[in-house]
């Protein structure tokens, strides 16, 4: 039998409330952490030690993502297994900035985020009811895909330098620039000063554009339809 806060003899601590909220709505925490990372990137990318802080935030997002996958039909052990090389290469890249290490770190993070996105989609398609956490999962999954493709683009430009151009000409783009480009691609708004100029980057960019259209058509439209049907019952 589930008890409310008022039924308890002693009021729960603040940490207990946060843990309970995290268990019930892990997707909300994942969404919040990813938005926080995006907002902090302009200040971290230009500061001393910013790279280490970005890596720390990325690892924090990995931990929350694993916890989120536990609430989905996906395999938690597989999520943790995919996260392990991502963590190893991300930490390694802090001390060794060779292109091969950076490419492996970005590719491992991208693979982990893609599996997390799959887990969230499976979670939203598991039943015919729309819960509060599933609504947060819609946003969390979208931002997960934005990060996943951004890390793919980072890996691409390590393998094929100058794959992207901007107002200052071809060159290596930052994580924030590629997140901006990834978000513009996935939302299909096309408002980005960053663009692919090598065929490999253009091919992946096209795949992301198609993924954004399918996400709206398959995921968001389904949840909207279920919400409307539930309100009519």
Residue 1 belongs to some domain of the structure: no
Res. 41: pLDDT tops 50: yes
Higher confidence at residue 174 or residue 30? 174
Identify whether 5 is part of a domain.
no
Question: Taking the model in full, what pTM does it have?
Answer: 0.84
**pLDDT for 100:** 93
Give a yes or no: residue 3 inside a domain: no
Q: Which H helix or E strand runs over 164?
A: strand 164-166
Residue 31 and residue 139 in contact, taking contact as beta carbons nearer than 8 Å:
yes
φ, ψ for residue 171, nearest 5 deg: 170, 180
Q: What is the pLDDT of residues 172-226, one digit of tens each?
A: 999 999 999 999 999 988 788 999 999 999 999 999 999 999 888 888 777 777 7
Say if residue 18's pLDDT is above 70: no
User: What is the tally of structural domains in the chain?
Assistant: 1
Contact 119, 99 (CB under 8 A): no
Indicate whether 199 belongs to any domain. yes
pLDDT given at position 156 = 97
- Checking if the pLDDT of 20 tops 80, the result is no
pLDDT at residue 15, as a whole number: 61
Is the residue at 6 inside a domain?
no
pLDDT tens for 92-128 read: 887 888 899 999 999 999 999 999 888 888 888 876 7
Domain that holds residue 42: 23-232
How far is it between the farthest Cα atoms of the chain? Answer: 65
Q: Is residue 168 part of a domain?
A: yes
Q: Is residue 84 part of a domain?
A: yes
pLDDT for 43-78, tens place per residue?
887 776 677 777 777 777 777 777 677 666 667 777
pLDDT at 1: 47
Q: Is residue 143 packed enough to be buried (19+ CB in 10 Å), middle (13-18) or exposed (0-12)?
A: buried
| 204 occurs within a structural domain | yes
| pLDDT digit string, tens, across residues 121-135 | 888 887 677 777 778
Q: What is the pLDDT of residue 5?
A: 47
**Tokens in use for 167?**
């107002």
């Amino acid at each position: 039998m589930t008890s409310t806060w008022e039924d308890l003899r002693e009021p729960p601590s603040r940490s207990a409330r946060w843990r309970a909220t995290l268990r019930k709505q892990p997707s909300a925490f994942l969404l919040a952490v990813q938005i926080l990372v995006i907002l902090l990137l302009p200040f971290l990318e230009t500061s001393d030690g910013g790279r280490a802080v970005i890596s720390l935030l990325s690892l924090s997002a990995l931990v929350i993502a694993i916890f989120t996958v536990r609430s989905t039909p996906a395999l938690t052990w597989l999520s943790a297994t995919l996260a392990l090389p991502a963590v190893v290469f991300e930490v390694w890249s802090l001390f060794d900035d060779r292109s091969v290490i950076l490419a492996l770190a970005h590719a491992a993070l991208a693979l982990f985020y893609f599996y997390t996105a799959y887990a969230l989609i499976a979670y939203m398609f598991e039943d015919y009811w729309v819960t509060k956490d599933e609504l947060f999962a819609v946003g969390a999954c979208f931002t997960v895909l934005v990060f996943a493709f951004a890390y793919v683009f980072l890996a691409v430009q390590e393998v094929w330098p100058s794959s992207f151009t901007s107002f200052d000409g071809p060159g290596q783009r930052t994580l924030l620039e590629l997140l901006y480009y990834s978000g513009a691609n996935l939302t299909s708004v096309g408002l980005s000063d960053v663009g692919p100029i090598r065929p490999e980057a253009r091919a992946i960019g096209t795949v992301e554009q198609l993924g954004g259209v399918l996400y709206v058509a398959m995921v968001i439209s389904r949840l909207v339809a279920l919400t409307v049907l539930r309100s009519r019952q």
